[in-house]
Chain A
Amino acid sequence: MAANDDHKAVLIVGAGIAGMAAGMHLAELGYPVYLVDSAPAIGGSMHLLDHTFPTNSCGICLMLPQQPAFCPTLECERHDKIRLLPYAELTHVTGGPGAFRALVRHKARYVDPERCNGCGECGAVCPEARPHDYEGWVSPVKAIYRPTGLRAVPDTWVIDMEYCTRCGKCVEACPTAAIDLDMQPREETLGAGAVLLTPGFAPFDARIKGEYGYRVYDNVLSALEFERMVSLAGSSVARLARPSDGHPRFAGYRHPRGGAPTAKPPKRVAFVHCVGSRDNLCGAGHCSSACCMYTAKQVALAKKLDPELDVTVFYMDLRAFGKDSEAYIEGVQALPGVTYRRAMPSSVHQRQQTREVVVTVAGEDGKLREEVFDLLVLAVGFAPPVGMQALARDMHVELNAYGFAVSDGYHPARTSQPGVFVAGAFREPKDIPETVAEAAGAAAEVAGFLGAASRQDPLQSGTRNTQHALRDVRDEEPRVGVFVCECNGELARVGVSDVIAWTKGLPGVALAQAVPVGCSADGRAAIQAAIEQEKLNRVVVAGCSQRLYGKEFEGVMREAGLDPRLLARVNLREQVVYPHSKNGSDLTSKARSLVGMAVAGLKTMSGLDALPLGTCQALTRRAVVTGGGAAGMSAALQLASLGIPVDLVERGAELGGQWRHIYYQAASHTWQGAAPVHPQGALAELVDRVRKDDRIRLHLGAELKELLGTPGNYRSVIAEDGREETVEHGVLVVATGGKPAIPTEYLYGQHPRVVTQRKLEQRLAASGQRTTRLRSEGDRQAASDGVDPIENVQTVVMIQCVGSREPGRPYCSRVCCTQAVKNALKLKELKPALNVYVLYREVRTYGFREAIYQAARDAGVVFLRYELPGSPASLTRASLGTGGAGKPQVTAQGDRLRVSLTEPVTGQTVELNADLLVLSAGIEAEGVADLAERLRVKLNADGFFQEEHPKMKPLDLGRGLFVAGLAHSPRFLEETIAQAQGAAMRAAAFLAPEAVVDRPTAVWVNDRLCSFCGLCVQACPFQGRVMNYDRRVAEVDYSLCQGCGVCAVVCPNKATKQKAFEHKQLMAAVDMGLV
C-alpha cells in the first residue's frame, strides 16, 4: 500500500460482521482498508452462529457487495485493498481528520504466520490447557491453539501465554520452526484519513449477576455457550447435554466439585432474559435489543434437536420489534412444550447430588414456587467492547453512560470526533441485519468524508483478471507440465515419486516433477521457470485446494505468458490425504487418477478464443431513487457524494415524507456540548442540500411508471406533469416510505377527545413553551382544532398496539412505544400534575430508549398492561386458562371518556376517566403493491418490500435494486437514515467496477445449434440467459453470467458451451478417471 494512499486509507477497528462489511464495501470503491482485530483471527462474534434467525442458515457471504462470494473472512483476506491486522490493537491516535496517525500494537502470537502450515503437531504435544474462547472449560483447548472457526483467517496457531509454561515441547515438535517463545509485541504506525469503529460488543459477564450461579453451578450456561451446544461447530456437535454429565464430547472436562453426576440428556431447559440488560444495578440499564430474538431462535433450535424438550422462557417484555420478528416468535411460542412466562426468577439453586438447577419463581397463583430444570440458559446482554473506554478517551470520542459510542441522530455513523465513525453494536446493541445495513451506511459516510478514491480500471483491479500479453497456444501441440507439491512433506503419503513416474507416461505430458513447497516464492519461481524452459502450454498443480493461493498461481501463469485457464489444480490434500489416510485406502492410485483426469481435461481444452478474455459491458453510473422522504433524500445525497448522479422521484409536491411530522426527539441526539438540532431544522437543512446539489435531479409530483433493461443498465419511465421521460440508470433505490395506520376502534373519529399520537405531538409542539414552526399546512390545521392536550385536561390515557400485533396487522410497528413514552414525558414536562396512563401489551423501548421508559416511570407516568385473550401464559391470575382478559373498553361519558381494563397482575378492573385518549396505531407501507409489480419484486406478508435475504442482504431487492426506510419496515428516523446510506453504498458498490467483466468460465452459445428451447433461461440462477426473439437465440447477458455452467449442462443440443469446461474436456477427464 503506497504511502500517498494514506489520506484515503480507512482504519477499521474490529473485524466482525460490521467491520468486514464496511471494509469490503470501501475496498470495492477503491479505498485502502486496514482491518484491525484484537482476536487471533478475524470474524468477531459471527463465527459462533451457524444458524441465524429467521432462515436458520448462515448466508453471511450474501452481505458482500460483489456476488457470488466466499465467506467474508476469506474475501477480506483475498482482497487486494484490504490489509488484515489480526491479533493487534489500536493503542493511540494522533493527527487529525483526514490525516490520522494510528499506533497499532501487534500482540505477540509466538507463531510465525509465514511459516506455520497449520499441521497441529504443536497442539498434540502441548501439555497445558486453556478454556475455549466461547465454551470455556466445558471444552478446553491447548495453550497453543488454532483460532476458533472452521476456516480461521489467518489460519495460524497462537500461544496463550497465560497458560503456557514455556516447556518448549511445541518448539521441538514444529516441523517448520515457526514457534518463537521469545516473540515480542511489535508496534507499527499507520496513516489513515478516517477511522471506523466497529468493535462490536462484549457478551455480558453473567458472573456479575451472582444470583444465577453462572460458573458456580454446573448446568447454568450463558446463551453463547448454549449457542455453541446447539451448533454443529460446537464441541458437543449439536447435541444437548448437561456439562455436569461429562458428555463424551466434552473431552478432558473434569467436574470441578466432584459430586455424583447421573448422565441423562437434558429434558427441561429454562431460559432467562435480560441478564445484564435493563438492569441499572449491574451498570447495564440499556436493552440489548437482540436477546429476545436470539433466545427464540435457540429455543427453536433446541426443539429441533429434541422435539420432546420442555422449554420455559422467563421474560420481562418480549421485544420482537424487528421485521418479521413477531411472526417468528409467535411460531416459537406455539411449539409444543414451549412456555413463555412473564416472570423473572428470584433465586437459583443447585441440587448438589443431581446437579439439577432449582429456580424460584412466582407461580400462576402469585406464590413463589420452585421449579427444577436440567439446564438454565442466561440470555446475556451486550456490554460495551473491552478496551474501547481507553481508546475512546484517547481519540476524544464521547461514550454514553453505558459505555457505547454516542453518535449524531441525523448522521448515525458520525461520532463526536470528526473523521471518526462508528457502526454496529458499538453504536447501540443491535441484531445482524441492522448491523449489516448500518455498516454499509457507515462505509458510505466514510467514503463521502474522504472524497473519491483513485478510480479503478476494471481490467487492472486485483480481484479481476488482468490483461497480459498472453501466448496464443491454440495451434500448439499440447505440452502439459505436472507439478506435484509435497506441501512441506504433508503430502508424502500419496507417494509423490510414484505419481510422477506414472504421469510421465501419459500422452501429452511434457514434464512431471515434484515441488517441495509450491506456494512459496521459490516454488512459484521454479514452476514459472519450468514453463518457460519446457515451452509448456498447459499446467497441472497438484497440492492443496484451488481456493488457496489462487491469485499466486494465476500470477505465475500470466508471468509465463499463459492464460490462467490453462492451469488445473488438483487437491491432493483435502481429497486424498485428509479423507483417506486413516481408512487404509490406496492413496497413490487416487492421486494418480485425479492428476490424470486433470491432464486429460487440459489436453483437450480448446474454445478459449470464442470470446476474448476481459469482455466488458459498461454500467450506467446513474441512480434513480423513488421517494423523497428521509430515506430517499439520504440515499440520494449519499449517492451524489459518491459521485453518482441521481434522479429523485417524489410522488408528493414536497420533500420530507413522514419526517415533516416529527417535532421533537425522544432523547438527546448528539454529544455533549453540541447544540441540539430541532428535527424540523435538520429536515430543512437536508431538503436544502438536496435542492442545491446539482448532481440530483428532482422530480416532484412524479412517479416511476416502468422499469426496463437489465441490472446496471436500466431504463426507467418517469411520469411528471403529464409528461413521460425515460432515464437511463444503473441502479434503483426504493424509498417510497410508509404512512400512519388509521385506528378503527376506541371511538376514534367518533369522539373529539380521541386522537392519534401524531396529532398529540402536533398539539404539543404547538402548545409547548418552545413553540415550533409547524411545517405542513395539514399539521397547522390539525394543531388548531380538537382538544388542547394541556388546558383543562387532568388525565391522559394512551393505548398502545391499536390494530397492531393482531390479525389484520400482525407485525409490531417498532416506534409506537417510544413515541408514546416520548409524548408522555413531554406532557409531564409541560404539566407535571397531569395524570398520564399508558396501556400497553409489551413496552418495546429497545436499546438506549430504555432510559426514557425509566425516566417516564420516574416522572410518574403509570404503565398498565393489558393482554389479549389467548396470549402466552404469563404469571398472572387473570391469564389463568384463557390468556388475557382482552383489550381496554372505551365508552363516551358525555364530553369525557371512560376507559376500563383488567389489569393482569391483580386480575382487577381499573377504571380511568380520561380527558384525552391517545392511540398508537402503527405504520403501514404505502402504495407498494403496484410498484412491486412494476419492479418484479416481492412483498412480505405484512406488505413491506421483501429483501433478498433478511439477515445478510437486508438492503437488496435484487441485482441493482435496493430498498430503505419505511418501505422496508417500520423504523426510527436515525435507523432510516443509516439504512438509506447503506442502500446508497450497496448501489455504489454495485456500480463500482464501472463495467462488468465476464468470468473466465463464462458460457458462449453456438447460434447454429441453439434450438431456442429456453431450458437455459429456466436453469440460470442469475437470470443471465435471455431469449432474443429477433435472432431466435438464447443469448448470454455477460453482466449477469457468473460462469457456473448450469445452462451448459441442461442445453440438449450442446449449443451452450462453457469456457474451460467443454464437454469433450469433461468426457476425456471422465474417461481417464474410469481407466
Chain B
Amino acid sequence: MGKQYAFYPGCTLHTTGVEFGVSTELVCQALGLEMVEIPDWNCCGASSAHSMDHTLFLALPARNLAKAQQVGLDDLAIPCAACYSRLAAADVALREDGAFRAQMEDVLGFGYEGRVRPRSLLDVFANDLTKQVLRAEVVNPLKGLKAVSYYGCLLIRPPKYTGRWDDPEHPQSMDAMVELMGGEAVPWSYGVDCCGGSLTLNRSDVVVHLVDKLVEGAREAGAEAMVTACPMCMANVDGRQKYRGGSPIPRKPKPQYETMPIFYFTELMALAYGLPFQKVLGKHLVDPRPLLGRLGLA
C-alpha cells in the first residue's frame, strides 16, 4: 500500500459534486494512495458561515482539524478548493492567534498540535507524486482534448493560507496534469478569476456575467473544455451556462451561445486511467459526452 493521507471529503463530494468524489476515490486507488477519512467530520462553513459569524467561520473548520489530529497522519488531503481554503485558514488562525486557539481548544476539547497540514488534493498529486508515477497509469491518453485549467480564487490563494505550492497568480500544476494525461493544456489568463462563488443563488446575474467571461476567455484561447478542482466553480460554470435565469436584469440570450463542458481534474485522470467511471459523466449539466465521443475518449 502506498502513502497514507488523512482525508476530508467535504459535503459536496457526496452530493452536488459526486462525480468529484467518485473520481477521486477511483484515482487514489489506482495510484495506491490510501485516504483515511477523518471521523465525524462536519461542514467546513465555506459558502455561508462567513456572512453570519467570523468565529463560527473559523470554528467549523477548526473542529475538522481537531478531528483530523485523531487520525494520526500529518497530511490532510482535501479535494474541494473551498474546504481546503477554510481548513488552511483555520490552521493559520490556530497557529498564530493565541486567543482563538485557547478558545477553540476549550470549546472543542482538544489540544492543537500544529502537526496536521491541510493540503489540496491537487497539491498532493502534483508535488508528492512523480510525473512517471502519474503517467504510468495512463491507458487512455486524452489525445486532442484542449482544456484550460481553471483554478479559481481559493485553490492557491491567498498565499498566507496556501503557502505557495504553486504560483498564486499564474499556477501551472493543473495544466501539467492535463498534459500528463495526454491532453493539451491551453494557456489562458483567466485561470484564477472568480466564478462568483455563492452569489449564484442571490445574484445569479453576477455569476452569469462572470461565467460568461470565463467561457469566452477559454474559447478565445482555443479550448474546448475547462478543468477545475473546485465544486463551487464547477457548479457555477457548469450550471450557469445552462440555467441563466433568475436574473433581475433580463439578459438577452447570446446568438449561437455554445456551452463548454467542465471537468474535475480527477475526472480527466479517471478517464485517462481507464477507470470505470463513465456513468457519472451524465451528472454534468453541460454534457461532456458529445465532446469526448467526438475525440474518441468516451
Contacts and interface: CB of A to CB of B under 8 A. Distances in A.
Interface in A338-376: 347-353, 358
Interface stretch (A210-218, A382-390, A584-592): A210-218
A352 B167 CA distance: 20
B266 to A, nearest CB: 26
A352 B189 CA distance: 8
A348 B170 CA distance: 12
B220 A352 contact: yes
Given A211-B169, A213-B170, A353 B189 contact: no
B188 A352 contact: yes
B169 A210 contact: yes
Contacts of A257: 187
Nearest to B221: A352
B216 to A, nearest CB: 10
A217 B187 CA distance: 10
A349 B167 CA distance: 16
B190 interface: yes
Given A213-B189, A347-B193, A353 B169 contact: no
A668 to B, nearest CB: 29
B239 interface: no
B190 A349 contact: yes
A483 to B, nearest CB: 62
B164 to A, nearest CB: 11
B141 to A, nearest CB: 21
Contact of A352 (B168, B169, B170, B222): B222
B222 A353 contact: yes
Contacts of B170: 210, 213, 216
A350 B217 CA distance: 9
A681 B112 CA distance: 55
Nearest to A260: B222
Interface string A504-523: 00000000000000000000
Q: Which of B186, B189, B193 has the most CB of A within 10 A?
A: B189
Contact of A349 (B168, B186, B189, B222): B189
A348 B190 CA distance: 9
Nearest to B188: A352
Contacts of A347: 193
Q: How large is the interface on B (under 10, 10 to 19, 20 to 34, 35 or more residues)?
A: 10 to 19
Contacts of B220: 351-353
A353 to B, nearest CB: 6
Nearest to B187: A257
A210 B168 contact: yes
Contacts of A213: 169-170, 189
Contacts of B186: 352
Contact of A217 (B167, B189, B190, B221): B189
A353 B189 CA distance: 12
Contacts of A210: 167-170
B140 to A, nearest CB: 26
Main secondary structure on chain B at its contact with chain A? loop
B149 to A, nearest CB: 13
A213 B193 CA distance: 13
B156 to A, nearest CB: 11
Interface string B156-187: 00000000000111100000000000000011
Interface in A117-163: none
A217 B190 CA distance: 12
A257 B221 CA distance: 12
B201 to A, nearest CB: 22
Contacts of A350: 189
B187 A352 contact: yes
A725 to B, nearest CB: 70
Which residue of A216, A217, A352, A353 has the most chain B CB atoms within 10 A of its CB atom? A352
Contacts of B189: 213, 216-217, 348-350, 352, 358
Contacts of A353: 220-222
A211 B221 CA distance: 18
A802 to B, nearest CB: 43
Contacts of B221: 352-353
A272 to B, nearest CB: 15
A210 B167 CA distance: 8
Contacts of A352: 186-189, 220-222
Interface string B198-221: 000000000000000000010011
Contacts of B222: 352-353
A800 B208 CA distance: 46
Counting chain A CB atoms within 10 Å of each CB, the highest count among B169, B188, B190 belongs to B169
Interface in A191-222: 210-211, 213, 216-217
A217 B189 CA distance: 8
A348 B189 CA distance: 8
Nearest to A348: B189
Contacts of B167: 210
Contacts of B193: 347
A280 to B, nearest CB: 14
B84 to A, nearest CB: 20
Among B187, B188, B221, chain A packs the most CB atoms within 10 A around the CB of B187
Nearest to A215: B170
Interface string A252-276: 0000010000000000000000000
Nearest to A258: B187
Contacts of A358: 189
A872 to B, nearest CB: 30
B159 to A, nearest CB: 10
A352 B186 CA distance: 9
A210 B193 CA distance: 13
B160 to A, nearest CB: 10
A260 to B, nearest CB: 9
A349 B217 contact: yes
Interface string A756-786: 0000000000000000000000000000000
* Residue among A217, A348, A349, A358 facing the most chain B CB atoms (10 A cut-off): A349
A375 B120 CA distance: 36
Contacts of B217: 349
Interface string A649-667: 0000000000000000000
A423 B166 CA distance: 39
Interface in B254-293: none
A348 to B, nearest CB: 8
A213 B189 CA distance: 8
A213 B167 CA distance: 12
Interface in B218-265: 220-222
A358 B168 CA distance: 20
Nearest to B168: A210
Contacts of A349: 189-190, 217
A76 to B, nearest CB: 42
A829 to B, nearest CB: 29
A402 B72 CA distance: 43
A350 B186 CA distance: 13
Interface in B109-156: none
Given A216-B189, A349-B217, A352-B220, 13 more contacts: A210-B169, A213-B170, A216-B170, A217-B189, A348-B189, A349-B189, A349-B190, A350-B189, A352-B186, A352-B188, A352-B189, A353-B220, A358-B189
6 contacts: A210-B168, A213-B169, A216-B170, A349-B217, A352-B188, A352-B189
Top 4 nearest A-B pairs by Cβ distance?
A: A210-B169, A352-B221, A349-B189, A350-B189
